[in-house]
Amino acid sequence: MKLPETIAGFQTAYRQKELTPREAVEGVLKRIEAVEPKVQALLWSDPQRLREAARQLEQGGGPTSATPLWGVPLLIKDNICVEGVPTTCASKILAGFKAPYDATVVARLKRAGALLVGMANMDEFAFGSSCEFSAVKPTRNPWDLQRVPGGSSGGSAAAVAARMIPGALGSDTGGSIRQPAAFCGVAGLKPTYGRVSRYGLVAFASSLDQIGPLTREVGDNARLLQVIAGQDPSDATSSDAPVPDYVKGMGRGIQGLRIGIPKEFFSEGLEAEVRTAVERAVEELKKAGAAVQPVCLPHTEYAIPTYYVLAPAEASSNLARFDGVRYGPRAAADSMEAMYLKSREAGFGPEAKRRIILGTFVLSSGYYDAYYGQALKARTLIKRDFDENWERVDALAVPTTPTAAFRLGEKLDDPLTMYLSDILTISVNLAGVPALSVPCGFTGKGLPIGLQLIAAPFAEETLFRIGGAYQERTDWHQKAAPCGN
């Protein structure tokens, strides 16, 4: 039988007894066998382990209100710990490492009845915007196999776009869920900082990282967030803010919602086709009843330099633990210092080394105040810009990326150009607010374009309302990638 393509579809099929978890698993494995050799989205999967999980799920009874994801196959980004499974962050320095425990989000998915199919490819330690910095292999975009899927959650986005899986988890530090969602034509959410536990996420930049869902439809995004959101005593930065019924809230429509359009996100460097698609999407939101008005975020121009001081600084600190002693391969050497140097030299790829060196520099004596201290001040100004606008609007609508997906290898030799791929997503992480990318059109070459919706802290429900209303009026999200047919 043809498998459902959405989480909601799986839920319906199970309730109506049209499908069993074991049948679902066989269908997913068959789909992976057909598509994965072309897309290269997975780093690890164990068919026998998956079949056994499905068998045990069936023996435990059918779906209940306590298991909303019963039998739903999902993919996990390779920087989120799954007990007993290789968790390598797509890096040589973690080769052979198996997580000794489940991340909180994984534990919640398991309790909800989800079937975890495997681990998704990514840029090494989430350092990248193209999924080309994986130490294992580059993932390819299902819409054009000669183009990147975006990063760093490129494997998660590509797998969903290729119809290998109805949903996946990614992580977003500067756009790593939203940018690949836009490039691959799927929905991707970066939740409010603190909305989702980071316990069990291998840290990149601890003040910026958030785990979030990637799905085909906005409603499925809401279903996944419903399960993984909420306070966690294992993560001191997780919030005790109430978690609303996201799916139910989507049915309220957007009549009267105020949507702001910041001119700073429509500046030089934005491709004409992207601008046109986003402007048409905004017009569609107006037809659905939203009130649109211009707003100003004057410190947006400082987002890139601020981010590329703060994020590498935190990464330098977080990655100091990977030294060949406790994790991964250890290089042979005649002294402790030489062992550290050789292990890290062999274990980290070029982009990881670049960011570690940059972060170490800005934290070094004599430079801390000039760089890191100033960046913290700039971050405060960026956050204040957003805070001031929430009194006037309920959400912002902007492009997710300045361009559509670029060709494999096109930006590998130009790190600055690669970093600018995240120019429209980074300020959201600096401000700690939630943002959702939804498909809003295609370029003349048939490449997806993303609309980014941004809301006040813990207002994910507003994003789902707007994104859901937009998808009710359009069919961009229903179109299948050539590699997904």
How far apart CA 41 and CA 31 sit, in angstroms, is: 13
- Strand 73-77 relative to strand 167-172: parallel, antiparallel, unpaired? parallel
Q: Which of 143-147, 340-344, 428-432, 446-450 has the lowest mean pLDDT?
A: 340-344
Please say if the pLDDT value at position 111 is more than 70.
Answer: yes
Using 50, 70 and 90 to split pLDDT, how confident is the model at 385? very high
Residue matched to tokens 């999902």:
74
Q: What value does the mean pLDDT take over residues 278-287? A: 98
CB neighbourhood size of 346 (10 A): 14
Phi, psi of 237, rounded to the nearest 5 degrees: -90, -5
Convert the pLDDT of each residue in 28-70 to its tens digit. Answer: 999 999 999 999 999 999 999 999 999 999 998 889 889 999 9
- What amino acid is encoded at 188 in this protein? G
Query: Using CA of residue 289, residue 292, residue 297, residue 303, what is the dihedral sign?
Result: positive
In the chain, the N- to C-terminal Cα span, in Å, equals 15
How far apart CA 149 and CA 221 sit, in angstroms, is: 19
Report DSSP letters for 184-232, one per residue. HT-EEEEPPTTTB--TTBPPS-TTT-EEEEEESSHHHHHHHHHHHBS--
Query: Any idea which fold 7-264+275-296+387-484 has?
Result: Amidase signature (AS) enzymes (3.90.1300)
pLDDT for residue 485 = 61
CA–CA–CA angle 452, 457, 459 (5° rounding): 70
Which residues neighbour 209 within 8 Å (Cβ) at sequence distance 6 or greater? 126, 171, 172, 173, 198, 201, 203
How far apart CA 435 and CA 176 sit, in angstroms, is: 12
Whether residue 150 contacts residue 375, with contact meaning beta carbons closer than 8 Å, is answered with no
Convert the pLDDT of each residue in 148-188 to its tens digit. Answer: 999 999 999 999 999 999 999 999 999 999 999 999 999 99
| Residues noted as catalytic | 77, 152, 176
Using 50, 70 and 90 to split pLDDT, how confident is the model at 465? very high
Can the peptide bond before residue 152 be classed as cis, meaning omega within 30 degrees of 0? yes
Strand order in the sheet with 291-295: 42-45, 115-120, 73-77, 167-172, 210-215, 187-190, 435-442, 448-455, 395-399, 258-262, 291-295
Convert the pLDDT of each residue in 299-323 to its tens digit. Answer: 999 999 999 999 999 999 999 999 8
Q: What value does the mean pLDDT take over residues 278-286? A: 98
Which residues neighbour 267 within 8 Å (Cβ) at sequence distance 6 or greater? none
Domain ranges of the chain: 7-264+275-296+387-484
Strand spans (E) along 240-353:
258-262, 291-295
Using 50, 70 and 90 to split pLDDT, how confident is the model at 211? very high
Q: What value does the mean pLDDT take over residues 339-368? A: 92
Please say if the pLDDT value at position 484 is more than 70.
Answer: no
Residue 103's closest CA among 188, 44, 171?
171
Structure tokens at 401: 């990326």
How far apart CA 345 and CA 331 sit, in angstroms, is: 9
Whether residue 141 contacts residue 184, with contact meaning beta carbons closer than 8 Å, is answered with yes
How far apart CA 405 and CA 225 sit, in angstroms, is: 26
pLDDT for residue 369 = 87
CA–CA–CA angle 429, 431, 436 (5° rounding): 55
Q: How far is CA 221 from CA 162, 215, 305, 463, 465, in A?
A: 17, 6, 31, 11, 12
Q: 442 forms bridges with which residues in the sheet?
A: 448
Q: What value does the mean pLDDT take over residues 319-328? A: 88
Whether residue 162 contacts residue 481, with contact meaning beta carbons closer than 8 Å, is answered with yes
